[in-house]
Chains A and B, each alone.
Chain A
Amino acid sequence: MDARFAPFLSLLALVLLWSVAALLTQDAQVLPTPWGLVPRFAEEAASGELARHLSITIFRVLWAFGLAMAFGVILGFVMGRHREINRWLDPWLVVFLNLPALVVIVLCYLWIGLTEAAAIIAVTLNKVPNVATVIREGARALDPKLDAMAQVYRMGTVARLRHVILPQLAPFIAAAARSGVAIIWKIVLVVEFLGRSSGIGFQIHLYFQLFDVGMVLVYSLSFIAVMLLVEWVVLQPWERKTNHWRTA
């Protein structure tokens, strides 16, 4: 069988499992069947509500992801390359790594106010330490022989970054990006749950108060679908391209 079908079959199995569980539960209030959600999904999509909240959440995820990756990569790279700086910043990293997401979110809202900026900053602050930790490992593993080569041949700073350092960091950046997107959207939901009046998190909050399991599932599954699409259309093709030299 074609290996390309494997992910689809695997997802199909998950839906089957859900269907069996829903049929055994026999209570749509607790766990509706997948086909029971279709009309509610259609209704929500037709009214434009789903698209509105989905796009707002994606917008927040993109901003927080971009900022967290940018700061995390720079911080991790500097810490991995300079032992002295690492000695000073490492305790901070440990503090922020272990600061619960909820505490950061609440403090950001209290200090900055219930604004869009506070929401995005809170998510970014939650993610930067993770990215920095992963990239630091990558920066420590950089090949000193290639460094020596670049130095002897006096390669320029930009060329060195682009052709010597970034290709070595690429697997680490990909790992940080992949775990990053997944964690960031979960934190964005909490941020929306606690202090925004739009987005998937806000809608889930709303339907949680109404005890509407069906709509909670409609909204979260819609976003998971978007994330699967990102994984298959953006992340995996990019990884295949950057790893071309290993397998060619």
Chain B
Amino acid sequence: MIRIRVDGKSFGALKVLGRINLEIQAGERVALTGPSGIGKSTLLRIVAGLDQEFEGQITRPDGLAMVFQEPTLLPWRSALDNLKLVHPTLSTSQAGSMLSRVGLDDKKHVFPLQLSLGQQRRLSLARAFSGNPDLLIMDEPFASLDKGTARKMLALTQDLVKEHACSLLFVTHAVGEAEQLCSRTLTLTACPQGAQLSRCNDRRQ
């Protein structure tokens, strides 16, 4: 189970996040929406352990994977090596079948810059699932893709999440994506004391 308790997070004088309490059960899929700049990515970075300077406490499983807003691949290593170097326990055949699973069967030895953006995102997805994560965090993974590609990626992600039965924390702007992929949708709301998951006057949540 994932337990998120944030009492506050500020950048200097700017209060970004207020009180946030959130529990995600094993295998539960939660979507997080909210307007641009409200602090969704900040919250994700805290949950992922990338930002340790906040008040509160996060309990999360060891097996963690993240799909970033950009593919964030190693451009100087082949597609296959992008999986194997990040997950050293992965065998070549396992990495190969993971690439096949996301439709990159013939791209094993291709460098990321030779792939289309859609293919790069597939590779990034393959990397996330290669480690059999307990919790997958996705930060607007389908942004900047055309509609058709985004729909295919969404279906692929849905299948992979089901196969691996991992928990999911999914940030998106698109309500449709949230409803298709997740069982619960939460919205970050701007408040004077920082963004919250509920109405502003409710300080206890």
Contacts A145-B70, A151-B50, A163-B74 given; does A245 touch B88 at CB 8 Å? no
- What's the minimum C-beta distance from B172 to chain A, rounded to whole angstroms? 19
- What's the minimum C-beta distance from B14 to chain A, rounded to whole angstroms? 20
Check A155–B86 contact: CB distance below 8 A.
yes
Q: Interface digits, A155-195 against B, CB 8 Å rule (1 contact, 0 not)? A: 11001000110010000000000000000000000000000
| C-alpha spacing A145/B88, complex, angstroms | 20
| C-alpha spacing A148/B68, complex, angstroms | 9
Contact residues of A with B, CB < 8 Å? 145-146, 148-153, 155-156, 159, 163-164, 167, 242, 245-246, 248
Check B68–A149 contact: CB distance below 8 A.
yes
Chain B count of residues within 8 A CB distance of the other chain? 24
Q: Which residue from A145, A152, A155, A156 sits with its C-beta under 8 Å from B64?
A: A152
Q: Which residue from A146, A148, A152, A248 sits with its C-beta under 8 Å from B111?
A: A248
Most buried by A among B48, B86, B87, B131: B86
| C-alpha spacing A164/B70, complex, angstroms | 16
Q: Which residue from B49, B76, B77, B131 sits with its C-beta under 8 Å from A151?
A: B49
Q: Which residue from B50, B77, B88, B113 sits with its C-beta under 8 Å from A152?
A: B50
Q: Answer whether residue B65 sits at the interface, using C-beta atoms and an 8 A cutoff.
A: yes
Q: Residues of A contacting B64 with CB < 8 Å?
A: 152
Q: Answer whether residue B75 sits at the interface, using C-beta atoms and an 8 A cutoff.
A: yes
Q: Residues of A contacting B59 with CB < 8 Å?
A: none
Check A146–B74 contact: CB distance below 8 A.
yes
| C-alpha spacing A70/B45, complex, angstroms | 35
| Chain B residues numbered 3-54 whose CB sits less than 8 Å from any CB in chain A | 45, 48-50
Q: Residues of B contacting A151 with CB < 8 Å?
A: 49-50
Q: Answer whether residue B183 sits at the interface, using C-beta atoms and an 8 A cutoff.
A: no
| C-alpha spacing A163/B76, complex, angstroms | 8
Check A145–B68 contact: CB distance below 8 A.
yes
Q: Answer whether residue B171 sits at the interface, using C-beta atoms and an 8 A cutoff.
A: no
- What's the minimum C-beta distance from B36 to chain A, rounded to whole angstroms? 19
| Chain B residues numbered 75-129 whose CB sits less than 8 Å from any CB in chain A | 75-77, 81, 85-88, 111, 113-114, 127
Q: Which residue from B65, B114, B127 sits with its C-beta under 8 Å from A248?
A: B114
Check B74–A167 contact: CB distance below 8 A.
yes
Q: Residues of B contacting A248 with CB < 8 Å?
A: 111, 114
Q: Chain B's interface: helix, strand, loop or mixed, by majority?
A: loop
- What's the minimum C-beta distance from B23 to chain A, rounded to whole angstroms? 21
Q: Residues of A contacting B57 with CB < 8 Å?
A: none
Task: Write 19 A-B pairs (CB below 8 A) sorted by A numbering.
Answer: A145-B70, A148-B48, A148-B66, A148-B68, A149-B66, A149-B72, A150-B86, A151-B49, A151-B50, A152-B50, A153-B86, A153-B87, A153-B127, A153-B131, A163-B77, A167-B74, A167-B77, A245-B75, A246-B75
Check B111–A245 contact: CB distance below 8 A.
yes
Q: Which residue from B85, B114, B131 sits with its C-beta under 8 Å from A159?
A: B85
Name the residue on A nearest B85 (C-beta): A163
Name the residue on A nearest B131 (C-beta): A153
Most buried by A among B75, B76, B131: B76
| C-alpha spacing A151/B64, complex, angstroms | 10
| C-alpha spacing A240/B88, complex, angstroms | 27
17 further A-B pairs in the complex, CB-CB below 8 A; given A148-B66, A151-B50, A167-B74: A145-B72, A146-B74, A148-B48, A149-B72, A150-B86, A152-B49, A152-B50, A153-B86, A156-B88, A159-B88, A163-B74, A163-B85, A167-B77, A242-B76, A245-B75, A246-B113, A248-B111
Name the residue on B nearest A167 (C-beta): B76
Q: Interface digits, B140-183 against A, CB 8 Å rule (1 contact, 0 not)? A: 00000000000000000000000000000000000000000000
| C-alpha spacing A155/B72, complex, angstroms | 14
Check B76–A245 contact: CB distance below 8 A.
yes
Q: Residues of A contacting B76 with CB < 8 Å?
A: 163, 167, 242, 245
| C-alpha spacing A162/B75, complex, angstroms | 13
Q: Residues of B contacting A167 with CB < 8 Å?
A: 74, 76-77
Name the residue on B nearest A168 (C-beta): B76
Q: Residues of A contacting B75 with CB < 8 Å?
A: 245-246
